[in-house]
Structure 1
Amino acid sequence: MKKLGLALLYTAALALANPGSADIAAAEAARDGDMKKLIFHAEPQPAGTADFMTFDEAPLNLRDWQGKWVLLNFWATWCAPCRKEMPMLSELQTEFGGDDFEVLTIATTRNAPPAMQAFFDEIGVTNLPLHRDPGSALAREMGVLGLPITVILNPEGQEIARLRGDADWASDSAKAVIRALLGRTEG
């Protein structure tokens, strides 16, 4: 009986310390408009393990972001919908970016660094990273078949949701989804 009581206490403590499932349910409920295209997985999925690189070719891996929620966006300089949504992703990073959340952008396929910089300069984005996946290794491993693709990674580095195509990431609904995942109230 004592062991059962301890097991229940431990389980309750874990649930309170990690309210992930409750946050995900609230995030799903907050979807409206473009966010209806955001599909949450029944169970977290493994994210890619392939390396990608910084603008200056330093190696990176998604493991580098474990411990925070990540909105991972795959894009390309030739992608018109990417051009449309990137300023909205920038706004999301401005509002929520910090120790527990980050918008991570990765240009996949062949994107020349000068073209990437020009892309960001033309649309006025200064707060998002110019990371690259020139051989599309990470994109292929994560099943990115068109652009843009945006996935949400939990702090354990697992994919919990995916949106194919562009979306209004600056919308009230998108912000409500992120707020729910972060366990934040309005504001």
Structure 2
Amino acid sequence: MSILRPAVLYTALLFGANPAAADIAAADAARAGDMQKLNFAEAMDLPKAELLDLEDGVHSLDEYKGRWVLVNFWATWCAPCRTEMPGLDRLQGRMEGEDFTVLTVASGRNPVPAIEKFFGEAGVENLPVLRDPKMELSRAMGIMGLPVTVILNPEGQEVARLTGDATWDGPEADAVLRALLERD
């Protein structure tokens, strides 16, 4: 008996017993194009951190539990962020009403007027904005450069990460995200 056969059997049993793991396996298998940069890993709890909205209201990523969340860490000075943000906005607009949210987290010093100007120039209308001005969450999650996009499962755990910009409103991203949202 080859080593491969028990591994395939174990994987099938694992995914059959765990629908969320099966969804992740399907999403991992669907990666193509820019999504090949998306790395899936074992679900990992997030550090606790307070994030601010544009009016200085305090929020937490725990508020998004119960749905899949695509968290994009970005900054107003980041050129690749400017390129990818309109696609993230279109993705959120298209998937509104599903168990899915795109959430942007402005990492570091990003004054509110600069964020509003950035979103206005980029034509962003559908995305919520949270700020991590002291980079507490960013540092705790090992965000070293921008942009970085993290996918959270409905339990609020990180299951995937993509470093750099990507086309989030294209068919490759759609295939991965639809696989995550599949229900038995």
TM over 0.5: yes
* Structure 2 match to 1:112: 111
Counterpart residue identity of residue 28, structure 2:
E
Once the two structures are superposed, the pairs formed by residues 16-165 of structure 1 within 5 Å of their partners are 19-41=19-41, 43-165=42-164
Aligned residue-pair number: 170
Counterpart residue identity of residue 150, structure 2:
V
Counterpart residue identity of residue 108, structure 2:
T
Counterpart residue identity of residue 163, structure 1:
L
What is the percentage of aligned positions where both structures have the same residue?
56
**Structure 2 residue runs without a partner (length 5+):** 1-12
Taking structure 1 as the reference length, the TM-score comes to 0.87
Shift of 1:99: 4.8
Runs of 4+ residues deviating >6 angstroms: none
- Aligned counterparts of 1:48 and 1:104: Cα–Cα separation in 2: 17
> What are the Cα deviations for residues 6-48 of structure 1, in whole angstroms up to 9, with x where unaligned?
xxxxxx9xx67x611111111011110110000000x101123
**Is the 1:82–1:147 Cα contact (8 Å) retained in structure 2?**
yes
**Structure 1 residue runs without a partner (length 5+):** 1-11
Taking structure 2 as the reference length, the TM-score comes to 0.88
- Aligned counterparts of 2:31 and 2:96: Cα–Cα separation in 1: 20
